[in-house]
Structure 1
Amino acid sequence: MITVAVTGAHAKADVPALPVGSEEVATAAASCARVGASVVDLEPRHDTSVPDVVAAIRNRTDLVVRVSAYARSETLATLLDSGAEVLTCPVDAPEEFVSDLRAGARSRGIAVHHEVRELDQLETLRLRCAEETGPVHAVLVFGSSAGAGMRGDLETLSAAVARLPERVGYTVAGLDETAVPMLLGTLATDGHVRVGMADTLEYAPGVPVRDNAQLVARAAGVAKIAQRLPLSVSHVRGVFGLSG
């Protein structure tokens, strides 16, 4: 399963190639779908409307749309009604927020995934999973600096995977220079991968990313070499327990 995080917190003025507006993001998502992506991750931004971005992507692709539900530029109600099929909740979010998110998602038929950024959070994930009745999926974030995520090396990746509850599927995001090591390590551990300009702006040391499709194409090519063909969107919907 290849997920693309097309746009993050970077300013357009600083990264001109970054897709930001609804149509730019939808065009980028469509290009990524053509080269192997099946899921698009969106992070709410102060300069765009999540419902508008989701609608634009839906008009151009059949990708599964997953939205981070912790950025407060949009209300939780807005995110729940944005048209996304999945919302991602940080494992360390306040219990009241988690309860409201779950209740709202359940009433709308939306899946809730879990974001983990520290090894210690995996015990909380275990407790959260005990309350789930459907498929459970976690997004594991690895970085190269303090506060960016778990340390992006193979030892930490292996430790995180070993501590996951048995029935939890997982996607790995490697930030900045950890992107390629985490891509390779994740394929070796039978996990799923996330790439995209939200996670890294370099294709190689000193070489800027051309666009999101370049990162997805590399992930798809490496996956094929590893004899793990990228999953179709319909297959991914089945894995996530989504209808449609």
Structure 2
Amino acid sequence: MKSGNSARHGGHREVRLCQDRSMTAPSTDPASSRARPGTIITVAVTGAHAKADVPALPVGSEEVAAAAASCARVGASVIDLEPRHDTSVPDVVAAVHNRTDLVVRVAAYARSETLTTLLDSGAEVLTCPVDAPEDFVAALREGARARGIAVHHEVRELGQLDTLRVRCAAETGPVHAVLVFGSAVDSGMHGDPETLSRAVARLPEGASYTVTGLDDTAVPMLLATLATNGHVRVGMADTLEYSPGEPVRDNAQLVARAAGVAKIAQRLPLSVSHVRGVFGLSG
């Protein structure tokens, strides 16, 4: 089953592994002299799937909050939420904050909520699609600045990275991109290491990035991202299969796998407090 997100929307260059502070900071003990690059693990718990089609999907505020708490226990530090017609974003954000200290990031493309509602939802970060209309982008950034909210950038096509570079040229705070990859039949970025390398090479200088692979690209992109010192997003919003023919049991199952692989790669999951520093958030 395809993710509900997948419907929206040069030459080879050597990728220089990012060595800025967001990638080289300690994952657990700041005093450790042997600290290795850490990994931000984000979980996208719901997306646009219908509850009737996926009974195990957490949808209501308390279901999402319970899923968030389970994911936090096994390594997640950020939760991605998407506006849905059957839930209220502010209610879901409040429920997650009541149960966890996860950084809450909300996708800022309207389905059932206005931009003002999303800005006032209680989220600490909003994600803006790079291909959004310029007037929407300007209003989002102005509203986010006024409220002290960080803005991240969602990229689904390689060509959008040129727009991102121009848009972020004058930014003084941390720049973070969420790179979404799909299968060969998708019109966006193909989920393979070569395309990931091309995308990373075109990011604004010093930008950090989170990568997710939709559907059957989830595991390949997890492995490729850890190899490039990027951060990872997993969750039932992006894939409903744990392995071919095996449905995902819950979001925590996907987070636990990502955390385990990150540990094997010696890229330990970052704590929430550390992630706040990477994203330039207060608190």
User: So what's the TM-score if we normalise by structure 2?
Assistant: 0.85
Counterpart-to-counterpart distance in 2, 1:69 and 1:163: 23
Equivalent position amino acid for 2:85 in 1: H
Please name the residue that 1:197 is paired with.
236
Q: Secondary structure at the match of 2:252?
A: helix
Look up the match of 1:58: 97
Sequence identity percentage? 87
Which residue of structure 1 lines up, in the alignment, with residue 150 of structure 2?
111
Q: Shift of residue 155 of structure 1?
A: 1.0
Measure the CA separation in 2 of the matches of 1:240 and 1:63.
Answer: 13
1:20-35 correspondence runs (5 A)? 20-35=59-74
Query: Secondary structure of the equivalent of 1:89?
Result: strand
Q: Which residue of 2 aligns with 1:163?
A: 202
Between stretches 23-32 and 130-139, larger displacement belongs to: 130-139
Tell me, what secondary structure is at the counterpart of 1:142?
strand
Cα deviation for residue 27 of structure 1 reads 0.1
Aligned to 1:241: 280
Offset, 1:148: 6.0
Residue 3 of structure 1, CA deviation: 0.1
Aligned match of 1:73: 112
Q: CA deviation at 1:164?
A: 1.1
Candidates 44, 53, 77, aligned match of 1:5: 44
Q: What corresponds to 1:219 in structure 2?
A: 258
User: For the structure 1 residues 148 and 15, does the alpha-carbon distance in structure 2 shift closer, same or farther, using more than 3 Å as the test?
Assistant: farther
The corresponding residue for 1:91 is 130
RMSD: 0.8
Residue 209 to residue 44, structure 1, CA distance change in 2 (3 Å):
same
Q: How far does the alpha carbon of each residue in 1:135-177 deviate from its partner, in whole angstroms, 9 at most, with x for none?
A: 0100000001544631011111111111111111000010000
Q: Aligned pair 1:179/2:218, yes or no?
A: yes
| Number of aligned residue pairs | 244
**Pick aligned residue for 1:14 from 53, 62, 69:** 53
Contact 1:2–1:192, Cα closer than 8 Å, also in 2: yes
Aligned-partner SS, 1:67: strand
SS of the residue 2:68 aligns to: helix
Contact kept, 8 Å, 1:43 with 1:71, in 2: the verdict is: no
Q: 1:209 aligns with which of 245, 248, 261?
A: 248
Q: Judging changes above 3 Å, is the alpha-carbon distance between structure 1 residues 221 and 113 closer, same or farther for their aligned structure 2 residues?
A: same
Identify the match of residue 40 of structure 1 among 79, 85, 88: 79
Query: For the pair shown, which has the larger CA radius of gyration, 1 or 2?
Result: 2
Q: TM-score when scaled to structure 1? A: 0.98
Q: 1:124 aligns with which of 163, 171, 182?
A: 163
CA distance in 2, matches of 1:194, 1:31: 16
Gaps of 5+ in 1: none
Match of 1:135 in 2: 174
Which residue identity is paired with 2:56? A
**Aligned letter for 1:119?**
L
Match of 1:153 among 164, 181, 192: 192
- 2-structure distance, mates of 1:174, 1:150: 10
Q: After TM superposition, where is structure 1 displaced by more than 2 Å over at least 4 residues in a row? A: 145-149
Task: Report the counterpart of residue 140 of structure 2 in structure 1.
Answer: 101
Matched, 1:228 2:257: no
Partner SS for 2:121 = coil
Helix, strand or coil for the counterpart of 2:209?
strand
Q: Output the CA distance in 1 between the equivalents of 2:255 and 2:237.
A: 13
Gaps of 5+ in 2: 1-39
